[in-house]
Amino acid sequence: MRIGVHTSIAGALENAVHRAHEIGCDAFQMFSANPRGWRAERLSEAACDRFCEARAGHGLTPLAIHANYLINLAAPDAVIRALSVAAFRAELQRAVALGAEYVVLHPGSARNGGRAKAIAAFRSSLLKAARGIRLNALTVLLENTAGQGDVLGSSFEELAELLGGVAGELPAGLCIDTAHLFAGGYPIHTRAGLKQTVLRLDGIVGLDKVRLVHANDSKTAFESHCDRHAHIGEGYIGAEAFRRIVRHPKLTQLPFICETPVDKPGDDKRNLAMLRRLGQGKMSGVRSREPEVRIEELEAHKRESRIVPTVTANC
């Protein structure tokens, strides 16, 4: 099992590689530029060479680059969509220059423009962004979402439709986020629920399309449709559920990347160690929320949801 975390490029691109190695990663994820800005400086050949040399020296693979948070290829607004196409094209160019295996992309939001139109806009925008770029070994991964507001990609059916729209046009697959699955209504916290979820994923999308797992616990309850990550074993999914996830025979060959909070120095290393320990089947000494408490809270959430509609914009 290859595991890692999202590391910072602060100071220099290659610092993300060195930080991943120091933490103990086998694989890692990073941004290739400011994730909350439309414009990014072109990478110099020297910077790319330093990065690739550092990565080769530490043997870290795969590398996933997470795309800019502002990008919305499904946007009904023509200006936002044009900015998104340009920004994602730049993401692809930087990823190729850095020798990344994956670029992880959020499918985007319909923004009250209708989901069918948004899916069509996503397809045309993605193909436009990639046009003429030699992707080499790079694959675009769509990340499942928690189902907040008008955001696309929370259901396997919608992810299959999004992927189907670009099939044969460019290399594309899925990045599955555990916190998003759980918040989106897939019961991966139970033994039976995980089995059912994996079977559905295989039947609707195909497990061969899944290339990466974002391993995150959830700060919010089941089916909350809120995207809030927690430390492994300290959220509503829990350590026992993560032990089953990382040891599932259909998932063990996939790389797992943590995007967990950094509340204090060493948190990344602790989450990595926890995931590795659970992957070895070890539970002794592992801190986790009690299952009985989680179930009680989940039932309370379901009762409240039947009374008050879920507000996802400010979850």
One of 26, 177, 217, 234 is an active-site residue; which one? 177
186 is known as an active-site residue? no
One of 36, 134, 287, 303 is an active-site residue; which one? 36
DSSP secondary structure code for residue 109 in this structure? B
69 is known as an active-site residue? yes
One of 229, 231, 277, 289 is an active-site residue; which one? 229
One of 150, 259, 267, 297 is an active-site residue; which one? 259
| Cα separation values, 225 from 43, 146, 179, 294, Å | 37, 5, 10, 17
Residue 157, classified by CB atoms within 10 Å of its CB into exposed (0-12), middle (13-18) or buried (19+), is exposed
How far from each other are the two terminal CA atoms of the chain, in whole angstroms? 33
Tokens of 276: 């590795």
One of 39, 49, 69, 131 is an active-site residue; which one? 69
Is the CB of residue 109 less than 8 Å from the CB of residue 145?
A: no
One of 14, 91, 161, 227 is an active-site residue; which one? 227
One of 6, 189, 214, 294 is an active-site residue; which one? 214
259 is known as an active-site residue? yes
One of 81, 106, 211, 243 is an active-site residue; which one? 106
Helices (H), 6-155: 13-23, 45-58, 78-98, 115-130
One of 19, 21, 180, 211 is an active-site residue; which one? 180
Q: Looking at beta carbons, which pairs linking 247-250 to residues 24 or more positions away fall under 8 Å?
A: 247/278, 247/279, 247/281, 248/194, 248/198, 250/198, 250/202, 250/207
- Residue of 132, 286, 164, 152 lying closest to 217 (CA atoms): 286
How far is residue 312's CA from residue 148's CA, in Å, rounded to a whole number? Answer: 5
DSSP secondary structure code for residue 220 in this structure? S
36 is known as an active-site residue? yes
301 is known as an active-site residue? no
211 is known as an active-site residue? no
106 is known as an active-site residue? yes
66 is known as an active-site residue? yes
DSSP secondary structure code for residue 303 in this structure? H
Residue 44, classified by CB atoms within 10 Å of its CB into exposed (0-12), middle (13-18) or buried (19+), is exposed
One of 19, 21, 55, 66 is an active-site residue; which one? 66
One of 26, 91, 143, 161 is an active-site residue; which one? 143
Is the CB of residue 25 less than 8 Å from the CB of residue 271?
A: no
263 is known as an active-site residue? no
Strands 27-30 and 139-143, by their bridges, are unpaired
State the catalytic residues: 36, 66, 69, 106, 143, 177, 180, 214, 227, 229, 259
